[in-house]
Amino acid sequence: MRRIETLDHIAEGLEQLAVIDPRLVPVVAAAGEVPLRLSDAGFRSLASIIVSQQVSRASADAIFGRLAALVDPLDAEGVLAAGEETLRVAGLSRPKQRTLIAIAEAVRDGLDLDHLCAIDADEAMVRLTAIHGVGPWTAEVYLLFSAGHPDIFPAHDVALQSAVGHAFGMSPRPGAKALYRLAESWAPWRGVAARLFWAYYREMRGWDAAPPAEAAKKT
């Protein structure tokens, strides 16, 4: 599997997408800089994605900062030793506490988060979503930004739905199923297309709705 690892890969992907779907040419022009957003694989990165779900960027950064300070090192062993009370003090909701502990237990029992970044995306998705509380969006974002997978499009992401709907004049905006179908035409560059539409959303709305910096610390 070829990884998306450099800004040159992003540039190549954008060129290919413009050929595959000419409707994306004005989207590329309007989106401005399309960041790489590649993070290190592993528990810390996946924990950051869990924290970022359904909260603002500022809230996610604050909660993750407290979590990292309370559980140091922030790994599966540390989370299991800390327990739910420490996660509560950090600001995680009960569902997120349970999910993070379930991931830590899976890692303790043999799940290799680094290995998931090297295998077929469909198989990795099955293994990740088998963990309590890990849904398609979480698994896809992990594979996109921690594995650098070239052909992942997190269609459940509301910002991506809004960005595609705005760019293509679709009202109401496409739901997840419709967006998955639409994104099929962008294979094998759906990972770059997702980054493109997050960048487009940033320019459209004036704020960045992509997963937070800790989950994508290599810009």
Which amino acid is present at 33? E
Classify domain 7-36+150-216 at the CATH topology level: Endonuclease Iii, domain 2 (1.10.1670)
Q: What are the domain boundaries of the chain?
A: 7-36+150-216, 43-138
Cα–Cα distance for residue pair 165/79, rounded to 1 Å: 39
The mean pLDDT of 66-93, rounded to a whole number, is 95
Cα–Cα distance for residue pair 2/151, rounded to 1 Å: 10
Q: What is the Cα 206 distance to its own chain's centre?
A: 20
Name 144's Cβ contacts closer than 8 Å, sequence gap at least 6: 152, 154, 191, 194
**Is residue 213 predicted with pLDDT exceeding 50?**
no
**In 32-184, at which residue ranges do the beta strands (DSSP E only) sit?**
none
Question: And the tokens for 104?
Answer: 């830590």
Cα–Cα distance for residue pair 174/90, rounded to 1 Å: 35
Tens of pLDDT, residue by residue over 4-59, are 999 999 999 999 999 999 999 999 999 999 999 888 889 999 999 999 888 887 88
Query: Cα dist. 118→2, 38, 75, 148, 172 in Å?
Result: 10, 15, 20, 10, 37
pLDDT band with cut points at 50, 70 and 90 for residue 215:
very low
CATH tag, 43-138:
1.10.340.30
The answer to whether 153 touches 136, Cβ cutoff 8 Å, is no
Please state the pTM of the whole predicted model: 0.89
The answer to whether 117 touches 41, Cβ cutoff 8 Å, is yes
Question: And the tokens for 164?
Answer: 């595609």
Query: Cα dist. 65→44, 74, 89, 212, 216 in Å?
Result: 12, 11, 12, 12, 15
Q: What is the Cα 73 distance to its own chain's centre?
A: 22
Straight-line distance from the first to the last Cα atom of the chain, in angstroms, rounded to the nearest whole number: 21
Tens of pLDDT, residue by residue over 108-156, are 999 999 898 888 889 999 999 999 999 999 999 999 998 899 999 999 9
Helix (H) or strand (E) segment spanning residue 165 = helix 158-167
